[in-house]
């Protein structure tokens, strides 16, 4: 695995959180994107080589809505960049990690993604992401 690509933060409002994180990092939100399949709106800020991904739920049934209902706003996942997501998924499966999806799926920010169950990783939801060339 490569660097931490981004840290995902569950928020009630990407607009309000975007303003706060813009001030915090002294850089604007450079992209806002709706991911229909995950029922979320995302906003991204760059911080050095890493990113912050703010996630707001579009409905009450999304994973983000459930997370906030249970734990409140806060860090939701850590995403690691990988070169070959299929190979990393195979490797982690062989190591006994529980993956939340069988195949890579389309995520925000032009990425193929796969999630590792938090129970497999000491309570932290882990995302693998591979940049897709367009
Ligand atoms: Zn993410």
For residue 96, pLDDT over 80 is answered with yes
The correct CATH number of 3-131 out of 3.10.180.10, 3.90.79.10, 3.40.640.10, 3.30.750.24 is: 3.10.180.10
> What is the C-alpha separation between 58 and 73, in angstroms, rounded?
15
Q: Residue 109 C-alpha to ligand 1 middle, in angstroms?
A: 9
| Domains of the chain by residue range | 3-131
Q: Residue 95 C-alpha to ligand 1 middle, in angstroms?
A: 22
For residue 37, pLDDT over 90 is answered with no
pTM for the model stands at 0.93
Contacts of 68 (CB under 8 A, 6+ apart): 10, 12, 57
Provide the percentage of residues in the chain whose pLDDT is more than 90. Answer: 89
Confidence of residue 36 (pLDDT cuts 50, 70, 90): confident
pLDDT for the residue numbered 134: 66
The mean predicted confidence, pLDDT, of the chain is 95
Q: Residue 6 C-alpha to ligand 1 middle, in angstroms?
A: 6
Average pLDDT over residues 107-131: 94
Q: Which two tokens stand for residue 103?
A: 């195949």
Q: Residue 96 C-alpha to ligand 1 middle, in angstroms?
A: 22
């Amino acid at each position: 695995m490569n660097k931490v690509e981004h840290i995902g933060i569950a928020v009630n409002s990407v607009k309000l959180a975007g303003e706060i994180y813009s001030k915090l990092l002294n850089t604007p939100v450079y992209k806002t994107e709706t991911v229909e399949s995950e029922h979320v709106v995302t906003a991204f800020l760059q911080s050095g080589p890493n990113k912050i991904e703010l996630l707001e739920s579009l409905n009450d049934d999304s994973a983000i809505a459930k997370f906030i209902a249970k734990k409140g706003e806060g860090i939701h996942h850590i995403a690691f960049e990988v070169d070959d997501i299929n190979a990393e998924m195979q490797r982690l499966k062989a190591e006994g990690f529980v993956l939340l999806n069988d195949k890579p799926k389309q995520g925000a920010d032009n990425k193929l993604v796969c999630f590792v169950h938090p129970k497999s990783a000491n309570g932290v939801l882990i995302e693998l992401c591979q940049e897709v060339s367009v």
